[in-house]
Amino acid sequence: MKKFRPKLPGFLTGMKILLFNMFKTLSPLSPNPNVNYPFEKEIVAPRARGVIALDTDACTSCMLCARQCPDWCIYIEGHKELQPPAKPGGRERSRAVLDRFDIDYALCMYCGICVEVCPFDALFWTPEYEYSEYNMGDMLHDKNRLDQWLNTVPEVEGLES
């Protein structure tokens, strides 16, 4: 026979869950999920989306990332330069030179589309998250700053066998 269990009204059920979780969190036996930032730094997952790094040597200023960015927060300018022919008598080659590559992190929503669509593997996620600013304008990272983030890109893990 099924046991009869009187149902608590909705708000009492909510209060029961709240009190249970409150005492569970405050209990000295439970692990503390908080980190005493900035004195301690949280160790985030290696594939966390912290900031985007740019490999300026790999970027061809093709503009694909800027066109796909839903927030329009990537600004690219470049020009073509003629290079001498590879062999004597050959044709001159044209090379793309990146003049400007900025990402405005005050607008970015960290969707990762730019990293996904880059056909030249010039953009990478890094788990670094310490780049908050007092001024909104300083959230615009230019190509030199984006290039410096390359140092924080984690090593690629091997494929699962």
Q: How far is the CB of 15 from ligand SF4 (least distance, A)?
A: 40
Told to check if 147 binds ligand SF4 by CB under 6 A, we report: no
DSSP for 71-135?
T--EEEEEEEEEE--SSTT---EEEEEEEEEEEETTT-----HHHHH-TT--EEEE-------SS
Told to check if 73 binds ligand SF4 by CB under 6 A, we report: yes
Told to check if 51 binds ligand SF4 by CB under 6 A, we report: no
CA distance 116 to 118: 6
Residues for the chain: how many in total? 161
Told to check if 60 binds ligand SF4 by CB under 6 A, we report: yes
Total chain residues near ligand SF4 (CB under 6 A): 25
Told to check if 153 binds ligand SF4 by CB under 6 A, we report: no
Residue numbers at the binding site for ligand SF4 (CB under 6 A): 59-65, 69-71, 73-74, 76, 103, 108-114, 118, 120, 122-123
